[in-house]
Structure 1
Amino acid sequence: MLDNPRSPRVRAVAKLANRAARLETGLFLLEGPQAVAEALTFRPELVVDLFATPTALERYTDIADAASEAGLEVEFVTEQVLETMADTVTPQGFVAVCHQFPTSVKDIFNSEPKLIAILEEVRDPGNAGTIIRAADAAGADAVILTGRSVDLYNPKVVRSSTGSIFHLPVAVGATLQDVRDRARGAGLQILAADIKGGDLLAARNEGLLTAPTAWLFGNEARGLTDDDLVLADRSVSVPIYGHAESMNLATAASVCLYESAFAQRA
């Protein structure tokens, strides 16, 4: 059992909370039973190391079984060691180290997608992870984080996705111009979610949302720039019928993605 929080191995895992260490190693941190279970179920080959407290492994026997089936040995650690490794204050008994696995933008558009989400300069990791989760739930084919967006493997992005990063392709690092060109080449329209855009309900009534669509979402504070909006075929806004001053980016993105999912399945 690992019981020394200051050991080199424990410190190496803890360093993965920092982007520099992730870039150097090509690894990232996974925390909590839900995320670990999703990794073991959908992408077990990515898991390099799996750490757990004896109490947690005894409680989550499904994780113990999945690890065994994947040929992974679970290494026991103390609560103190787990807290040192994890980015959160309460890691809930599990920490894993995984290989990074971004999908190429080329592969995403070669797969003839019908619905994708593009994140341009989305900086808040909670928003990015939640949009990935919403895209997964809506049955989207992929998510693309442009080079100006938050790091996909930021621990808060990973946590907020609650395992959805293992369910659908996610590409990183491309420019918005390149993504736009590839989307159009693949026959997708680009709809920009923008507060100054046309009403989403009107777009639905026009039948606009039935077409293969790449939704474009911008920065939380500034939204999309004029240069970004020029790259879209049309701008659309989620109407606010009550008295709220605005809508959280991840919430608005969820509405847009589901509207397209409903229309495409109608």
Structure 2
Amino acid sequence: MTERLDAQLTNPRAERVRRVAGLSRRSARERHGQFLVEGPQGVREAVRHAPAQVRDVYLTPEAAKRHPEIPVEAAAAGRYLHTATPEVLAAMSADAQGVLAVLDADGPTTAATVADLRALHDGAGPRLVAVLAQVADPGNAGTVIRAADAAGADAVVLTGGSVELLNPKVVRSTAGSLFHLPVVTGVSLEEVLGALRGAGSVKAVLAADAAGEWDLDELADRAHSAATGGGAGWDDELAATALVAPELAAPTVWLFGNEAHGLGPAERAACDAVVRVPIHGLAESLNLATAATLCLYASARAQRRETRD
């Protein structure tokens, strides 16, 4: 396919450059229904996994040589390609690293709905979902999306009051994972949990909190013992206390709270159990995204083991 290639852009003060740079502001993103993807990794994944959303790709000649797959794949998808001087790319974004794309906001991952989650796995629903409740830090939100993707989770949900999904720092922090799995935004915790529980697709809703009554390491050990035929001692001990241990291998929603305030009483009450990530050293606490990564991987490992066994 012939490349849709304009002449090189050389004027950092051109109207097109100002318009692209303006997408760093939420008001401009909402007005135009577009957002920025900055850097080669994010642009590469957008072109590969969400080509219909890509409107324009901008590269310096040097970046086009370093990352030849981006212009080749963008051209094959019929996207508009523009070469530009380093000064133009810098005027568009200080974080472009010589590669930038403008995308439509309305796409299968960036405009997903709760109904889309219920339709996963041929209607069986998701097995692993990360829900961020009023998480405000864009770096944390993007990193959790990246971690959920790496762990093989089915989706991420950002409840109302959370950081905007298309904030440039969120998009950068996902490192392209934004285009690999659906991300639902702007819904209430009650709505998403009600829909998934009502469909019977989710068997456990677990809150991650430093004051949780369950230890993540112990739950992971229990999941391993159950998969290998052990665990009788655990079950006898729990029977004596009338407690029911969360099953990491079950289809699960993990709930992660605001960085400063954590989870409120109502959010904790909406969960089946509250789980803490143990601190074995002298660290006072874990970063939200780090704790979320550990929780998601613990569930993913238990679920894979159950599937294999």
Give the TM interval when normalised to the shorter protein.
over 0.9
Residue identity over aligned pairs, in percent, reads 52
CA deviations 1:118-167 (Å, max 9, x no partner) are 01111111110110000000000000111111111011111110000100
Q: Judging changes above 3 Å, is the alpha-carbon distance between structure 1 residues 46 and 224 closer, same or farther for their aligned structure 2 residues?
A: same
- Given that residues 27 and 99 in structure 1 are in contact (C-alpha distance below 8 angstroms), is that contact kept between their aligned partners in structure 2? yes
Task: For 1:263 and 1:186, locate their aligned partners in 2 and report how far apart those are by CA, in whole Å.
Answer: 22
Aligned twin of 2:190:
177
Amino acid at match of 1:195: A
- Given that residues 38 and 95 in structure 2 are in contact (C-alpha distance below 8 angstroms), is that contact kept between their aligned partners in structure 1? no
Task: For 2:165 and 2:95, locate their aligned partners in 1 and report how far apart those are by CA, in whole Å.
Answer: 22
Amino acid at match of 1:134: A
Amino acid at match of 1:181: G
Aligned twin of 2:206:
191
Task: For 2:256 and 2:25, locate their aligned partners in 1 and report how far apart those are by CA, in whole Å.
Answer: 26
- Given that residues 89 and 96 in structure 2 are in contact (C-alpha distance below 8 angstroms), is that contact kept between their aligned partners in structure 1? yes
Give TM-score, length-normalised by structure 1: 0.96
The Cα shift of 1:186 comes to 3.0
Task: For 1:67 and 1:33, locate their aligned partners in 2 and report how far apart those are by CA, in whole Å.
Answer: 12
- Given that residues 32 and 94 in structure 1 are in contact (C-alpha distance below 8 angstroms), is that contact kept between their aligned partners in structure 2? yes
* Structure 1 position 202 matched with structure 2 position 218: yes
The Cα shift of 1:205 comes to 4.0
Aligned twin of 1:252:
291
Task: For 1:21 and 1:230, locate their aligned partners in 2 and report how far apart those are by CA, in whole Å.
Answer: 38
Amino acid at match of 1:242: G
Choose from 159, 173, 176 the match for 1:163: 176
* Structure 1 position 113 matched with structure 2 position 113: no
SS of alignment partner, residue 55 of structure 2: strand
Aligned twin of 1:124:
137
Choose from 238, 249, 262 the match for 2:301: 262
The Cα shift of 1:56 comes to 1.0
- Given that residues 110 and 186 in structure 1 are in contact (C-alpha distance below 8 angstroms), is that contact kept between their aligned partners in structure 2? no
Task: For 1:203 and 1:193, locate their aligned partners in 2 and report how far apart those are by CA, in whole Å.
Answer: 13
The Cα shift of 1:221 comes to 1.1
- Given that residues 183 and 214 in structure 1 are in contact (C-alpha distance below 8 angstroms), is that contact kept between their aligned partners in structure 2? no
Task: For 2:199 and 2:12, locate their aligned partners in 1 and report how far apart those are by CA, in whole Å.
Answer: 50
Backbone CA RMSD of aligned residues: 1.2
Task: For 2:64 and 2:289, locate their aligned partners in 1 and report how far apart those are by CA, in whole Å.
Answer: 33
Task: For 1:220 and 1:66, locate their aligned partners in 2 and report how far apart those are by CA, in whole Å.
Answer: 39
Map 1:38-117 to 2 at 5 A.
Answer: 38-86=45-93, 89-100=94-105, 101=107, 102-111=111-120, 112-117=125-130
- Given that residues 40 and 66 in structure 1 are in contact (C-alpha distance below 8 angstroms), is that contact kept between their aligned partners in structure 2? yes
Task: For 2:80 and 2:22, locate their aligned partners in 1 and report how far apart those are by CA, in whole Å.
Answer: 22
Q: Judging changes above 3 Å, is the alpha-carbon distance between structure 1 residues 139 and 248 closer, same or farther for their aligned structure 2 residues?
A: same
Task: For 1:115 and 1:263, locate their aligned partners in 2 and report how far apart those are by CA, in whole Å.
Answer: 11
SS of alignment partner, residue 271 of structure 2: coil
- Given that residues 3 and 78 in structure 1 are in contact (C-alpha distance below 8 angstroms), is that contact kept between their aligned partners in structure 2? yes
Amino acid at match of 1:29: L
- Given that residues 112 and 182 in structure 2 are in contact (C-alpha distance below 8 angstroms), is that contact kept between their aligned partners in structure 1? yes
Amino acid at match of 1:95: L
Task: For 2:199 and 2:92, locate their aligned partners in 1 and report how far apart those are by CA, in whole Å.
Answer: 43
Amino acid at match of 1:136: D
Task: For 1:242 and 1:66, locate their aligned partners in 2 and report how far apart those are by CA, in whole Å.
Answer: 47
Q: Judging changes above 3 Å, is the alpha-carbon distance between structure 1 residues 99 and 90 closer, same or farther for their aligned structure 2 residues?
A: closer
Task: For 2:267 and 2:79, locate their aligned partners in 1 and report how far apart those are by CA, in whole Å.
Answer: 45
Aligned twin of 2:238:
none
- Given that residues 183 and 190 in structure 1 are in contact (C-alpha distance below 8 angstroms), is that contact kept between their aligned partners in structure 2? no
Q: How many residues are treated as equivalent by the alignment? A: 264
The Cα shift of 1:110 comes to 2.8
Aligned twin of 1:9:
16
Aligned twin of 2:254:
215
SS of alignment partner, residue 210 of structure 2: strand
Task: For 2:139 and 2:294, locate their aligned partners in 1 and report how far apart those are by CA, in whole Å.
Answer: 17
Please, which moves more after superposition, 198-207 or 8-17?
A: 198-207
- Given that residues 46 and 176 in structure 2 are in contact (C-alpha distance below 8 angstroms), is that contact kept between their aligned partners in structure 1? yes
The Cα shift of 1:74 comes to 1.3
